[in-house]
Amino acid sequence: QVQLQESGPGLVKPSQTLSLTCTVSGGSISSGNYYWSWIRQPAGKGLEWLGHIYTSGSTGYNPSLKSRVTISIDTSKDQFSLKLSSVTAADTAIYYCAREGSESYWGQGTLVTVSS
Amino acid sequence: QTVVTQEPSLTVSPGGTVTLTCASSTGAVTSGYYPNWFQQKPGQAPRPLIYSTGNKHSWTPARFSGSLLGGKAALTVSGVQPEDEAEYYCLLYYGGARVFGGGTKLTVL
Protein backbone atom coordinates (compact mmCIF):
# COMPACT_ATOMS: atom_id res chain seq x y z
CA GLN A 1 0.00 0.00 0.00
CA VAL A 2 1.20 3.49 -0.83
CA GLN A 3 2.27 5.59 2.13
CA LEU A 4 3.20 9.26 2.30
CA GLN A 5 5.35 10.92 4.96
CA GLU A 6 5.93 14.63 5.40
CA SER A 7 9.26 15.88 6.75
CA GLY A 8 10.87 19.24 7.43
CA PRO A 9 11.46 21.87 10.10
CA GLY A 10 8.73 22.27 12.69
CA LEU A 11 9.67 25.88 13.37
CA VAL A 12 10.24 28.62 10.80
CA LYS A 13 10.99 32.29 11.45
CA PRO A 14 8.76 35.01 10.00
CA SER A 15 9.76 36.23 6.52
CA GLN A 16 11.72 33.02 5.86
CA THR A 17 10.84 30.16 3.50
CA LEU A 18 9.01 27.08 4.73
CA SER A 19 10.31 23.89 3.07
CA LEU A 20 8.70 20.47 3.36
CA THR A 21 9.27 17.16 1.60
CA CYS A 22 6.85 14.29 1.09
CA THR A 23 8.37 10.84 0.66
CA VAL A 24 6.31 8.21 -1.11
CA SER A 25 6.78 4.54 -0.26
CA GLY A 26 5.06 1.34 -1.31
CA GLY A 27 5.02 2.43 -4.93
CA SER A 28 6.86 4.65 -7.39
CA ILE A 29 5.86 8.30 -7.60
CA SER A 30 6.18 7.95 -11.36
CA SER A 31 3.81 4.99 -11.77
CA GLY A 32 0.31 5.84 -12.86
CA ASN A 33 -1.07 9.27 -13.68
CA TYR A 34 -1.55 11.08 -10.40
CA TYR A 35 -1.54 14.55 -8.98
CA TRP A 36 0.54 14.96 -5.82
CA SER A 37 -0.85 17.64 -3.54
CA TRP A 38 -0.12 19.82 -0.54
CA ILE A 39 -2.91 20.82 1.83
CA ARG A 40 -2.78 22.64 5.16
CA GLN A 41 -5.00 23.09 8.19
CA PRO A 42 -4.57 25.78 10.85
CA ALA A 43 -5.50 24.67 14.34
CA GLY A 44 -9.27 24.43 14.73
CA LYS A 45 -9.93 25.45 11.13
CA GLY A 46 -10.72 23.86 7.80
CA LEU A 47 -8.60 22.44 5.02
CA GLU A 48 -6.87 24.67 2.46
CA TRP A 49 -5.56 23.31 -0.84
CA LEU A 50 -2.14 24.78 -1.59
CA GLY A 51 -1.28 23.21 -4.91
CA HIS A 52 -0.27 20.06 -6.76
CA ILE A 53 2.17 18.62 -9.23
CA TYR A 54 1.61 16.01 -11.90
CA THR A 55 4.13 13.26 -12.52
CA SER A 56 5.08 15.11 -15.72
CA GLY A 57 6.03 18.12 -13.60
CA SER A 58 3.14 20.42 -14.47
CA THR A 59 1.82 22.35 -11.49
CA GLY A 60 -1.31 24.06 -10.22
CA TYR A 61 -1.47 26.48 -7.32
CA ASN A 62 -4.02 28.14 -5.07
CA PRO A 63 -4.49 31.60 -6.64
CA SER A 64 -4.43 33.28 -3.23
CA LEU A 65 -0.95 31.87 -2.53
CA LYS A 66 0.41 31.50 -6.04
CA SER A 67 3.14 34.09 -5.71
CA ARG A 68 4.57 32.38 -2.61
CA VAL A 69 4.18 28.66 -3.38
CA THR A 70 6.46 26.38 -5.36
CA ILE A 71 5.97 22.62 -5.68
CA SER A 72 8.59 20.37 -7.25
CA ILE A 73 9.05 16.65 -7.79
CA ASP A 74 12.10 14.35 -7.68
CA THR A 75 11.12 11.06 -9.26
CA SER A 76 14.53 9.52 -8.58
CA LYS A 77 13.87 9.82 -4.84
CA ASP A 78 10.08 9.28 -4.94
CA GLN A 79 9.65 12.67 -3.32
CA PHE A 80 7.85 15.91 -3.94
CA SER A 81 8.38 19.16 -2.10
CA LEU A 82 6.70 22.39 -1.02
CA LYS A 83 8.29 25.79 -0.61
CA LEU A 84 6.28 28.67 0.84
CA SER A 85 8.10 31.98 0.94
CA SER A 86 7.74 35.07 3.14
CA VAL A 87 5.87 33.21 5.87
CA THR A 88 3.95 34.89 8.68
CA ALA A 89 2.17 33.59 11.76
CA ALA A 90 -0.87 32.99 9.55
CA ASP A 91 1.03 30.17 7.85
CA THR A 92 1.19 28.19 11.10
CA ALA A 93 -0.69 24.95 10.39
CA ILE A 94 -0.56 21.21 9.98
CA TYR A 95 0.72 20.53 6.47
CA TYR A 96 -0.41 17.39 4.66
CA CYS A 97 0.81 15.79 1.47
CA ALA A 98 -1.58 13.62 -0.51
CA ARG A 99 -2.15 11.74 -3.72
CA GLU A 100 -5.33 12.63 -5.62
CA GLY A 101 -7.60 10.38 -7.56
CA SER A 102 -9.18 6.97 -7.50
CA GLU A 103 -6.55 5.73 -5.09
CA SER A 104 -6.12 8.67 -2.79
CA TYR A 105 -3.68 8.56 0.10
CA TRP A 106 -2.71 11.16 2.68
CA GLY A 107 0.28 11.59 4.95
CA GLN A 108 -0.25 11.93 8.68
CA GLY A 109 0.62 15.63 8.56
CA THR A 110 3.35 17.73 10.11
CA LEU A 111 2.92 20.80 12.29
CA VAL A 112 4.81 23.87 11.17
CA THR A 113 4.91 26.86 13.49
CA VAL A 114 5.98 30.29 12.29
CA SER A 115 7.49 32.20 15.17
CA SER A 116 10.62 34.14 16.03
CA GLN B 1 -12.46 34.15 -5.31
CA THR B 2 -14.31 30.85 -5.55
CA VAL B 3 -16.15 29.75 -2.41
CA VAL B 4 -17.40 26.24 -1.67
CA THR B 5 -20.16 26.14 0.94
CA GLN B 6 -21.19 23.32 3.28
CA GLU B 7 -23.60 23.20 6.19
CA PRO B 8 -21.60 24.17 9.30
CA SER B 9 -23.21 21.49 11.41
CA LEU B 10 -25.79 18.71 11.28
CA THR B 11 -27.18 16.36 13.90
CA VAL B 12 -28.52 12.87 13.26
CA SER B 13 -29.75 10.01 15.42
CA PRO B 14 -28.01 6.63 15.33
CA GLY B 15 -29.51 4.50 12.56
CA GLY B 16 -30.86 7.54 10.78
CA THR B 17 -30.03 9.01 7.39
CA VAL B 18 -28.40 12.38 6.75
CA THR B 19 -27.38 14.25 3.63
CA LEU B 20 -24.54 16.76 3.56
CA THR B 21 -24.29 19.16 0.63
CA CYS B 22 -21.57 21.10 -1.14
CA ALA B 23 -22.33 24.21 -3.21
CA SER B 24 -20.16 26.31 -5.50
CA SER B 25 -20.24 30.11 -5.73
CA THR B 26 -19.77 29.73 -9.51
CA GLY B 27 -23.11 27.98 -10.00
CA ALA B 28 -24.45 24.45 -10.15
CA VAL B 29 -22.05 21.66 -9.27
CA THR B 30 -21.79 19.08 -12.03
CA SER B 31 -19.79 15.90 -12.50
CA GLY B 32 -17.14 18.06 -14.17
CA TYR B 33 -16.22 19.39 -10.75
CA TYR B 34 -15.28 15.82 -9.73
CA PRO B 35 -16.64 16.19 -6.16
CA ASN B 36 -14.60 14.47 -3.49
CA TRP B 37 -15.58 13.88 0.13
CA PHE B 38 -13.32 13.41 3.15
CA GLN B 39 -13.95 12.44 6.76
CA GLN B 40 -11.78 13.84 9.54
CA LYS B 41 -11.85 12.84 13.19
CA PRO B 42 -10.09 14.85 15.91
CA GLY B 43 -6.33 14.47 15.84
CA GLN B 44 -6.36 12.48 12.62
CA ALA B 45 -5.56 13.20 9.00
CA PRO B 46 -8.52 13.44 6.63
CA ARG B 47 -9.63 10.13 5.15
CA PRO B 48 -10.88 10.05 1.57
CA LEU B 49 -14.42 8.65 1.24
CA ILE B 50 -15.75 9.52 -2.23
CA TYR B 51 -14.17 10.65 -5.50
CA SER B 52 -15.63 11.83 -8.81
CA THR B 53 -19.15 12.41 -7.44
CA GLY B 54 -20.13 8.93 -6.35
CA ASN B 55 -17.17 6.55 -6.51
CA LYS B 56 -16.10 4.89 -3.27
CA HIS B 57 -12.59 4.01 -2.21
CA SER B 58 -11.97 0.40 -1.29
CA TRP B 59 -12.13 1.29 2.42
CA THR B 60 -15.33 3.36 2.27
CA PRO B 61 -18.23 1.77 4.19
CA ALA B 62 -21.27 0.94 2.06
CA ARG B 63 -23.48 3.30 4.08
CA PHE B 64 -21.71 6.32 2.52
CA SER B 65 -22.81 7.41 -0.95
CA GLY B 66 -22.15 10.45 -3.12
CA SER B 67 -24.38 12.11 -5.69
CA LEU B 68 -25.50 15.37 -7.27
CA LEU B 69 -28.61 16.89 -5.76
CA GLY B 70 -30.31 20.13 -6.73
CA GLY B 71 -27.18 21.70 -8.22
CA LYS B 72 -24.96 20.62 -5.35
CA ALA B 73 -22.72 17.69 -4.56
CA ALA B 74 -24.16 15.52 -1.80
CA LEU B 75 -22.90 12.94 0.65
CA THR B 76 -25.56 10.68 2.15
CA VAL B 77 -24.96 8.50 5.16
CA SER B 78 -27.61 5.81 5.60
CA GLY B 79 -27.87 3.91 8.86
CA VAL B 80 -25.58 6.31 10.70
CA GLN B 81 -23.23 4.76 13.25
CA PRO B 82 -21.79 6.49 16.34
CA GLU B 83 -18.33 6.30 14.78
CA ASP B 84 -19.54 8.50 11.91
CA GLU B 85 -19.40 11.53 14.18
CA ALA B 86 -16.71 13.63 12.52
CA GLU B 87 -15.99 16.65 10.33
CA TYR B 88 -16.72 16.13 6.64
CA TYR B 89 -15.11 18.15 3.86
CA CYS B 90 -15.96 18.32 0.18
CA LEU B 91 -13.44 19.23 -2.50
CA LEU B 92 -14.27 20.56 -5.96
CA TYR B 93 -12.07 20.73 -9.03
CA TYR B 94 -11.88 24.04 -10.91
CA GLY B 95 -9.71 23.15 -13.86
CA GLY B 96 -6.15 23.09 -12.57
CA ALA B 97 -7.12 24.22 -9.08
CA ARG B 98 -9.02 22.69 -6.19
CA VAL B 99 -11.13 24.27 -3.46
CA PHE B 100 -12.25 22.73 -0.19
CA GLY B 101 -15.55 23.48 1.44
CA GLY B 102 -15.55 24.84 4.97
CA GLY B 103 -16.57 21.51 6.46
CA THR B 104 -19.67 20.07 8.15
CA LYS B 105 -19.52 18.94 11.75
CA LEU B 106 -21.72 15.84 11.97
CA THR B 107 -22.98 15.01 15.44
CA VAL B 108 -24.56 11.64 16.17
CA LEU B 109 -26.98 11.98 19.08
Tens digits of per-residue pLDDT, B57-86?
A: 999 999 999 999 999 999 999 999 999 999
A39 touches chain B (CB under 8 A): yes
Cross-chain residue pair B46–A61, CB shorter than 8 Å: no
Which pLDDT score, from 0 to 100, does residue A73 have?
Answer: 96
Cross-chain residue pair B101–A61, CB shorter than 8 Å: no
Handedness of CA B19, B24, B30, B32 (dihedral sign): negative
Which pLDDT score, from 0 to 100, does residue B16 have?
Answer: 98
B29 touches chain A (CB under 8 A): no
- Of the candidates A18, A59, A17, A19, the one whose C-alpha atom is nearest the C-alpha of residue A36 is A59
Q: What are phi and psi of A109, to 5 degrees?
A: 95, 150
Which pLDDT score, from 0 to 100, does residue B87 have?
Answer: 98
Tens digits of per-residue pLDDT, A19-78?
A: 999 999 999 999 888 999 999 999 999 999 999 999 889 999 999 998 999 999 999 999
Instruction: Report the residue of chain B nearest A61, measured CA to CA.
Output: B97
Interatomic CA distance for residues B24 and B26, integer angstroms = 5
Cα-only R_g, chain B: 13
